[in-house]
Amino acid sequence: MSNLASFKADLIELLPSLRAFARSLAHNPALADDLVQDTLVKALANVERFEPGTNLRAWLFTILRNHYYSQLRKSKREVEDADGKFAARMSSRPEQDGSVDLEDFKVAFQQLAPDHREVLTLVGASGCSYEEAAQICGCAVGTIKSRVNRARRKLADLLGLDEEDTPVPSEASRIEDTASV
């Protein structure tokens, strides 16, 4: 298999993780799909800049993250709904307990600071190691570990979980439901 074919196969394998990360940033499925598409176009256009043997996942996540923040800076007319009040008015309340818990999680997740949402999505939902997340965010590994710890504690507090209800976080533990956000 040629290097380009291998590269394309690896891209396809990472699509679900890219989409989950894009959804966590954009909060809009259509915009998230556009972000992923733009990321793939940029990656394929700059395939010669990627060094085989390095971390493709981190490279793609960095492209997506940088593109998202560039687009965010360009758009000045967006209405921010950080606390979810507008979105809550537009949705109907679920009848099942699991759906209610998911909605509570979404509301609590949106109340986290953007850097906390970002690290929980990278480390928790996308399965990035602390080192990969640090590379993507452009900061030290210790900063990522600290942010993850603070974000998990804040999320547990927002959800009203006691310390005994909250699992002890470790690099192996992942927050799987953040991919649904």
Task: Give residues with Cβ within 8 angstroms of 152, minimum separation 6.
Answer: 120, 166, 169, 175
Place of tokens 């598409």: 37
Q: Residue 179: its pLDDT value, please? A: 37
Which domains are seen in the chain, by residue range? 3-74 (1.10.1740.10), 85-180 (1.10.10.10)
Per-residue model confidence as pLDDT tens for the chain (181 residues): 577 888 888 889 999 999 999 999 988 999 999 999 999 999 989 988 888 888 999 999 999 999 998 888 887 665 667 777 777 776 555 566 666 677 888 888 899 888 899 999 999 888 899 999 999 999 999 999 999 999 999 989 998 887 555 554 443 344 433 333 3
